[in-house]
Chains A and B, each alone.
Chain A
Amino acid sequence: DTEVTQTPKHLVMGMTNKKSLKCEQHMGHRAMYWYKQKAKKPPELMFVYSYEKLSINESVPSRFSPECPNSSLLNLHLHALQPEDSALYLCASSGMIAGGADTQYFGPGTRLTVL
């Protein structure tokens, strides 16, 4: 089973709203990732959690706030977003091997529209 689930599938929010994206995996993976993908562009890494600790933040604005409550769950809290933040937000997870993180498996994404 290589399934990563994400909710909601679609989200429309205003610039003053607060919302959260959720990601879940039950593969026992200890690394989890958030990516942002704009149309016709490759996925861009935002955050990496390893063993529930934030290990990489790719200089993401503070209006995006990640949280890893346990080894299976990853949240992305959104507040005061801008229209240019509209994108597909992808979650991924990977196992950890001796040399580091293993292959990443992606969820289906949340299509976010900021009005």
Chain B
Amino acid sequence: DQQVKQNSPSLSVQEGRISILNCDYTNSMFDYFLWYKKYPAEGPTFLISISSIKDKNEDGRFTVFLNKSAKHLSLHIVPSQPGDSAVYFCAAGTLGGYQKVTFGTGTKLQVIP
């Protein structure tokens, strides 16, 4: 049972344009969401997070949007840069107790120069 899903395994975007990565979840108990970026043979790097009391969080070129009613979140990268090419994982958890995070299946982003 995949509680966190990223339905697009890959995405190609031109440099300078917007990249939009999507994530859906099924567990209504999740109240904390994160995006990680991963290069091959490296550990995931934390990008940005959002708690369920917000619907938007921005950090530089990265913005995460949360739609609780649709159980959907998205990561916007503007403008996209070739160095953004990586696999992006959406993750979800609950803030109470220990942060047992469930990862999505990942989306491979390619930014074309």
Contacts and interface: CB of A to CB of B under 8 A. Distances in A.
A105 B46 contact: yes
Contacts, number: 64
Give the interface size bracket for B toward A: 20 to 34
B2 to A, nearest CB: 9
A23 to B, nearest CB: 10
Interface string B88-113: 01000011111111011110000000
Contact of B98 (A44, A56, A103, A111): A56
Interface string A89-115: 011101000011111111111010000
20 contacts: A2-B46, A31-B98, A31-B99, A41-B105, A42-B105, A43-B103, A45-B100, A45-B101, A48-B100, A88-B41, A90-B44, A101-B98, A101-B99, A103-B34, A104-B99, A106-B36, A106-B43, A106-B44, A108-B41, A108-B43
A99 B45 contact: no
Interface in B55-109: 89, 94-101, 103-106
Closest 7 interchain pairs by CB? A42-B103, A106-B43, A101-B99, A99-B95, A106-B44, A108-B43, A100-B97
B43 A4 contact: yes
B105 A102 contact: no
A55 interface: yes
Contacts of B41: 88, 108-109, 111
Nearest to A101: B99
Given A90-B43, A108-B43, A56 B100 contact: yes
A86 interface: no
Nearest to A9: B41
A16 to B, nearest CB: 27
B52 to A, nearest CB: 12
